[in-house]
Amino acid sequence: MTRDPLVVAHRGASGTLPEHTLAAYERALTEGADGLECDVRLTRDGHLVCVHDRTVDRTSDGTGAVSEMTLDDLRRLDYGTPEWPSVLLTLDRLVELALDWTSRPVKLFIETKHPVRYGGLVENKVLATLHRYGIGSPGSADHARAVVMSFSAAAVWRVRRSAPLLPTVLLGESSIALGGGAATAVGATAIGPSVATLREHPDLVDKAAAAGRATYCWTVDDRDDIEFCRDLGVGWVATNFPGPTKGWLARS
């Protein structure tokens, strides 16, 4: 019998509430999510903030590139809706939220964006942030609390080299890269195909398992896809609807 995949809230419960907001992550926790996914970008003055796009145009009431704005600039904007006004979420605040949730362990899945532009600065800052909270540093007991992910094999490699005990996911759409090549070369502890890629190449899960790697699949919002992932033995599914996903898994 296959084990149910653990459920990761993609940008929070972002199918219900504005993405990357505290409200969306709190909703994910109350809906039973096992993990929280976020994207991180660097501000002009070197802070890590949870924003997916290069600019804030789509997700806030302002405009401009995150990398050209300071933390104070970004904090002046609203990331919610008239019904759910929301302030900017920093990576620090998200880590605190996860650590404060004591009723069950919640894992953070942190995806670094723009890895090429800063040549490792984003990964270094993510690791420094985690270390400040006692996660992933050499003497720390808490290596399972966070996973660092990237579409960039170089970024995954940098994390493996600097924090060898911290789990990593190489995200991608290439069955060649995920089926051995790049995932093996950089020592990723898991592969992260999209559900479309997995539909095309379901053998990726077994190939990864044979190499000692787990599979993290995104973004799985459809019930058929959830069941498909469960039947394949996917370890983690990232979804915009953590509550309904937990419900489907419990009932099927």
CB 123 within 8 A of CB 112: yes
Residues binding ligand G3P (CB under 6 A): 10, 37, 39, 52, 111, 171, 192, 218, 238
Helix (H, G, I), strand (E, B) or coil at 162: helix
* Min dist. Cβ of residue 171 to ligand G3P (A): 5
Which does residue 171 touch among Ca ion, ligand G3P, none (CB within 5 to 8 A, set by kind)?
ligand G3P
Packing angle, helices 223-232 and 242-251, rounded to 10: 60
CB 51 within 8 A of CB 20: yes
Residue 111 engages Ca ion in binding (rule: CB under 5 A) = yes
Residue among 133 and 218 whose Cβ is closer to ligand G3P: 218
Which does residue 19 touch among ligand G3P, Ca ion, none (CB within 5 to 8 A, set by kind)?
none
Tokens 């419960």 label which residue?
13
Catalytic residues: 10, 52
CB 90 within 8 A of CB 126: no
Residue 39 engages Ca ion in binding (rule: CB under 5 A) = yes
* Min dist. Cβ of residue 149 to ligand G3P (A): 6
Which does residue 34 touch among Ca ion, ligand G3P, none (CB within 5 to 8 A, set by kind)?
none
CA distance 199 to 203: 9
Beta-bridge partners for 169: 149, 190
Q: Which residues contact Ca ion (rule: CB under 5 A)? A: 39, 111
